[in-house]
Amino acid sequence: MRIEIEGDASPLGWPAHGCRCSSCAPLRRRGESRAPLRILVDGLPLEDLEAVEVPGGFDVRTASGGRLLYGHHGAWPEPAPGAVYDAVLLDLLGRPEHLAVLRRRGAVAAHTAVHAVHVDHRVRDAAELRRRLEFWRAPVTGPHRTLLLGGSRSGKSAEAELRLIAHPEVTYLATGPRADGSDPEWDERVRAHRTRRPSWWRVVESDELSGLLRGGRGAILVDGLGTWLASVMDRTGAWEDPDSVRPLLAELVTAWRHTEAVVVAVSDEVGLSLVPENRAGRLFRDLLGELNQRLAAESEDVSLVVAGRPLPL
């Protein structure tokens, strides 16, 4: 089955007529545009092929025996029972987690070609679209390790979730305190994270990170390394004797190196902040900075997130 995409934009095109947003305006200034959807399959227009309507789109058959699933703009098509598609054409900017749903149901397999259609100013530019598709189309098997660094409220957790949103099996390791009503501000942060996560993500609240990495399959999101370090420092008495926590740091680096999972870990970038006034703060900064460096050396991807924008390192 040969798919030729002559236009992949939403019905209004990209840039949209009269839109002055920070996505459409630069395209217009450069004289660039992407045409509304037009797709040829084995040389024939998509709309001329044999198709069965499904909720949110069409299940399409080709003369050569190929099968694809097409989703309308702003819709997320239901796969036909038992179908395994050769290609899917999806509005991934609207709901990228639908790709995870299709993978979980077996409708999208390793051989399935994944295409984003109805693209528009919901993403800032074509480069950002390609970046996201690289994550969403990536193999769901590991190993692959990503370390995301950033300051407070930099958007690093949202970036981590975005990278794994299309993965069918995600374990979310929450290393921070639980929402228990004692700290309303913290409880609100926890609720915001829960709202963003797909309902099928498995949540583990623990500081047993090394064991999870050693035995983990699928994808693991670690949020975050700073709260993990604070927890194990409490557990080992490292605030008084820093050497007591170093075996756990070494164990974590080894587990990170040998994991078979797709891992995305969030950590605080401590090197840009003020020097802490007290010994405990300086000790924590030094240990976390050391851990970040050691994990970065064992990672395929390291990025610094600033104002919600990742900068590859």
- Active site amino acids: 193
The letter for the amino acid at 53 is: E
| Side-chain-facing half-sphere of 207: CA atoms under 13 Å | 17
Confirm if 112 and 87 have CB atoms less than 8 A apart. yes
The pairing of strands 38-41 and 44-45 is: antiparallel
The token pair that represents 129 in the structure block: 């679209």
Confirm if 306 and 200 have CB atoms less than 8 A apart. no
Q: How far apart are CA 303 and CA 291, in angstroms?
A: 15
Q: How far apart are CA 205 and CA 112, in angstroms?
A: 34
3-class DSSP state of 222: strand
Q: How far apart are CA 207 and CA 222, in angstroms?
A: 10
